Amino acid sequence: MSNQFLMPAKIYVGKNALVDCFNNLQFPGSHALIVTDESMIKFGYIDTVTAILKEKNVEFTIFDKVNFEPTDTCINEGATVYKSNLCDFLIGLGGGSPIDAMKAITMVTSSKKLLSEYTSTIFDQNRPFMIAIPTTAGTGSETTQFTIITDTQRDIKMLLKGPKVLPDVAIVDPLFTLSTPEKVTAATGIDALCHAIEAYTSKKAQPLSSLYALDAIKKIFISLPECFNTPTNIDAREQMSLAAFEAGCAFNNASVTLIHGMSRPIGANFHIPHGLSNAVLMYACLEHVKVAAQDRFATIARAINCTTSTNDEVACTDFFHALENLLQILCSPSLKDIITDKERFIMSIDKMSTDAYDSGSPSNSLCDITIDDMKSIYLKLIK
C-alpha cells in the first residue's frame, strides 16, 4: 500500500532564509495581510518582514490581534480586515497561534461555511496564497494541514484540517527564535518532541513520517537543553528549528495521539498555552501506552544513545528515564503547578475526557484508549 506525504510546496530553511525567500519568490499578490501578535511588533520582527515587502513594492496590512489561543471571533475579525483592505495573500508571522490564525482566516475568506462546520468535514476550497514564518521552534504549524481554533460558543478547541490548509511557503529561519523566552523555548520544544514521539508511535505512522520523527527526536534531545540554557546559541537554535519542522512534517502525515487529544481540552477550558498543556501530560500519557509501543520506545532509546541494551523492555525503560531527566532539565511544571482552580478542574474532567475522545486523536494510539482511561490520567495528575 502506498502512502501520501504532504508538506509545503516551497521550503526555505536556515539562517537568513527570510531574505533568501523574499529575494527569490514571485509574490502571489500585491497586498498582504500579515497575521501576527503584539510580541512580534515588540521584538521588531514585523519590521524585518515589512522592510523587505516595501523594497518589493508589496503593500501590506497588519492584523496583530492574535493571542496564544486564537478564537473564532478573532478569525472572523481578521477575515473582515482582509476583505476590507482588498488583500490578496497572507503572511503568518509568529508562533503556532498566528500561523494557525492565518490558516483559519483563509478558510473564512474563501468559504460561506462557519469554521465549526469544518470539524466534521475536510476543507477543500480554493483559497488565498499563504506564507508561514515561525518564530518559535515547536508547533510545526508551518508544515501542517491542521489548524486549532477555539469555538467560543461550545468552549472547545476545534481541529480543522485539509490539504488546502497547508501553507504554500514555509520560511524556517532560526534568527527569528533568538529572543524566545526560556519558558517558551522549553514549552514549544516539548511540543515539538510530543509531535515527533506521537507520530512515531501512531497507528498511522509510515516510513517517511517515521524517518522525520526519529531525526527530530534525536535533534531535540541534544539541542533543546542547549537552547534552554544558552539562548543565544544560534547553532542549537537552528537544530531546534529543523527539528520542529521535521516533527511537524511527521505528525502532519501520521497524526498525533493521546497527549494532544488530552491537551486541547485543558487549553480550551483553562486557557493554558498549548505547549505547556502538552508538557504536563507528556510523561503520563506516554507511560499509559508504554507496553503497546515498547518496541518503538526502545528504538527511540537507541537513536538518542540513552541505552546499550538489545532488550526492548530494558531499552524502553531507559527511554523513560531519559525523558524524565530532560523534563527536569527544562524545569517542566506539573499539572498541579499550572491549574489554579483544582476543584473546577476535577469538575471538568468528564467533559474534557469526552472532548478528547471525540477529537479522534487518542484513537491513533497503539492501544485502545477509553474515556475512563483519560479520566484516570487527568485525575492522577491533578491530585
Query: Do 191 and 106 sit in the same domain of this protein?
Result: no
**Average pLDDT score over the chain:** 96
Query: Do 155 and 213 sit in the same domain of this protein?
Result: no
Query: Do 208 and 326 sit in the same domain of this protein?
Result: yes
pLDDT surpasses 80 at 9: yes
Kind and range of the H or E run holding 9: none
In a domain? residue 4: no
pLDDT, mean of residues 204-221: 98
Query: Do 51 and 200 sit in the same domain of this protein?
Result: no
Select from 131, 146, 177 the last residue of a domain.
Answer: 177
Segment 216-255, tens digit of pLDDT: 999 999 999 999 999 999 999 999 999 999 999 999 999 9
The CATH number of whichever domain residue 96 belongs to comes to 3.40.50.1970
| Distance, CA of 75 to CA of 49 (rounded, Å) | 22
pLDDT surpasses 80 at 1: no
In a domain? residue 3: no
Query: Do 30 and 148 sit in the same domain of this protein?
Result: yes
Segment 73-113, tens digit of pLDDT: 999 999 999 999 999 999 999 999 999 999 999 999 999 89
| Distance, CA of 150 to CA of 104 (rounded, Å) | 11
Q: What is the pLDDT of residue 294?
A: 98
Q: What is the pLDDT of residue 363?
A: 97
Q: What is the pLDDT of residue 339?
A: 96
Query: Do 165 and 228 sit in the same domain of this protein?
Result: no
pLDDT confidence bin for 133, thresholds 50/70/90: very high
In a domain? residue 192: yes
Query: Do 229 and 204 sit in the same domain of this protein?
Result: yes
In a domain? residue 309: yes
Segment 314-373, tens digit of pLDDT: 999 999 999 999 999 999 999 999 999 999 999 999 999 999 999 999 999 999 999 999
Residue range(s) defining the domain that contains residue 50:
10-177
Query: Do 75 and 205 sit in the same domain of this protein?
Result: no
Segment 14-56, tens digit of pLDDT: 999 999 999 999 899 999 999 999 999 998 999 999 999 999 9
pLDDT surpasses 80 at 168: yes
In a domain? residue 204: yes
pLDDT surpasses 90 at 120: no
Cβ–Cβ < 8 Å for 188, 139: yes
Query: Do 89 and 210 sit in the same domain of this protein?
Result: no
Select from 132, 158, 177 the last residue of a domain.
Answer: 177
Kind and range of the H or E run holding 371: helix 371-382
How many domains, in total, are found in the chain? 2
pLDDT, mean of residues 183-203: 97
Query: Do 279 and 190 sit in the same domain of this protein?
Result: yes
For every residue of 56-89, which 3-state class applies, written as one string?
CCCEEEEECCCCCCCEHHHHHHHHHHHHHCCCCE
pLDDT confidence bin for 69, thresholds 50/70/90: confident
| Distance, CA of 215 to CA of 220 (rounded, Å) | 9
Q: What is the pLDDT of residue 243?
A: 97
Closest CA to 167 of 197, 196, 131: 131
pLDDT, mean of residues 251-277: 94
Query: Do 173 and 186 sit in the same domain of this protein?
Result: no
Select from 118, 144, 177 the last residue of a domain.
Answer: 177
Global pTM reads 0.94
pLDDT confidence bin for 176, thresholds 50/70/90: very high
pLDDT confidence bin for 264, thresholds 50/70/90: very high
Query: Do 173 and 274 sit in the same domain of this protein?
Result: no
In a domain? residue 149: yes
| Distance, CA of 178 to CA of 198 (rounded, Å) | 27
The CATH number of whichever domain residue 372 belongs to comes to 1.20.1090.10
In a domain? residue 1: no
In a domain? residue 2: no
pLDDT confidence bin for 310, thresholds 50/70/90: very high
